[in-house]
């Protein structure tokens, strides 16, 4: 996972938060001048780090994940948590962080993040976190580990963004449906990744073929299952 320059991140995040607050007040027509005044910097300072308003707003989402990553440093033994515990902690904390400017998130998450055709910092940070959770877990079965490639993490990222969109539309009390959905989804992933059933299947297939169990064809099946009556 990439190291973050604390000073640079703090400055960029201050700019992005100021932009979000201006967006909430003025809508899409906020100006960089307004952002610079609130962030106590110059427009030139902003343009040194961002090409425009869209990049600033996208960085707000990226910054939330950097903040979460920094939070993990204060959780003792986090890497020893079960997979479902890591994933649910990540999703729940994401909901809390996004809730800080929920009206902004409701309006912009889909166009800026979910429907972005180019890779975003938010996607990169999410996939790095997920890779940390999965690749560092010794309880994952060897067969499940074979699935852990870039396509696997891309699918997990998309599922994570779908959870966020569901949470944004959830009208249940205290978004309890979103919480229950998160619990069920993370528990399912853990069961899938920890299961040794596929490993045992591979072991059985390897044994059968290495010992030429099927080489003599039909007669081998009769020897394996003598209680089965075979009729012509």
* Domain harbouring 22, CATH code: 1.10.357.10
Query: Is residue 34 in some structural domain?
Result: yes
Query: Is residue 145 in some structural domain?
Result: yes
Number of domains in the chain: 1
Model confidence pLDDT, tens digit, residues 58-68: 999 999 999 99
Query: Is residue 108 in some structural domain?
Result: yes
Burial class (CB in 10 A: 0-12, 13-18, 19+), 216: exposed
Asked if pLDDT for residue 186 goes beyond 90, the answer is yes
Query: Is residue 160 in some structural domain?
Result: yes
| Residues 134, 148 contacting (CB under 8 angstroms) | yes
Query: Is residue 127 in some structural domain?
Result: yes
Residue 26: domain span:
6-195
C-alpha span between 215 and 213 (Å, rounded): 6
pLDDT at 7: 85
Query: Is residue 219 in some structural domain?
Result: no
Query: Is residue 179 in some structural domain?
Result: yes
Query: Is residue 56 in some structural domain?
Result: yes
* pTM over the 0.85 mark: no
User: Mean pLDDT, the chain, as a whole number?
Assistant: 88
Model confidence pLDDT, tens digit, residues 115-146: 988 889 999 999 999 999 999 899 999 888 98
């Amino acid at each position: 996972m990439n190291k973050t320059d604390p000073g640079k991140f703090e400055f960029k995040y201050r700019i992005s938060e100021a932009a979000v607050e201006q967006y909430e007040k003025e809508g899409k027509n906020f100006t960089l001048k307004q952002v610079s005044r609130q962030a106590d910097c110059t427009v030139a300072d902003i343009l040194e780090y961002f090409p425009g308003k869209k990049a600033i707003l996208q960085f707000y989402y990226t910054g939330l994940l950097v903040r979460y990553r920094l939070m993990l440093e204060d959780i003792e033994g986090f890497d020893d948590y079960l997979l479902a515990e890591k994933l649910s902690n990540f999703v729940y904390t994401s909901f809390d962080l996004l809730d800080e400017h929920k009206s902004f998130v409701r309006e912009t998450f889909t166009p800026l993040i979910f429907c972005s055709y180019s890779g975003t910092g938010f996607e990169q940070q999410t996939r790095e976190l997920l890779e940390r959770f999965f690749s560092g877990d010794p309880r994952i079965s060897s067969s499940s580990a074979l699935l852990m490639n870039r396509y696997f993490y891309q699918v997990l990222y998309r599922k994570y963004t779908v959870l966020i969109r569901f949470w944004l539309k959830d009208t249940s009390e205290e978004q309890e449906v979103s919480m229950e959905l998160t619990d069920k989804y993370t528990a399912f992933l853990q069961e899938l990744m920890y299961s040794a059933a596929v490993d045992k299947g591979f072991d059985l297939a390897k044994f059968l073929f290495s010992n030429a169990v099927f080489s003599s064809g039909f007669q081998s099946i009769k020897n394996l299952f003598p209680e089965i009556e075979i009729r012509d």
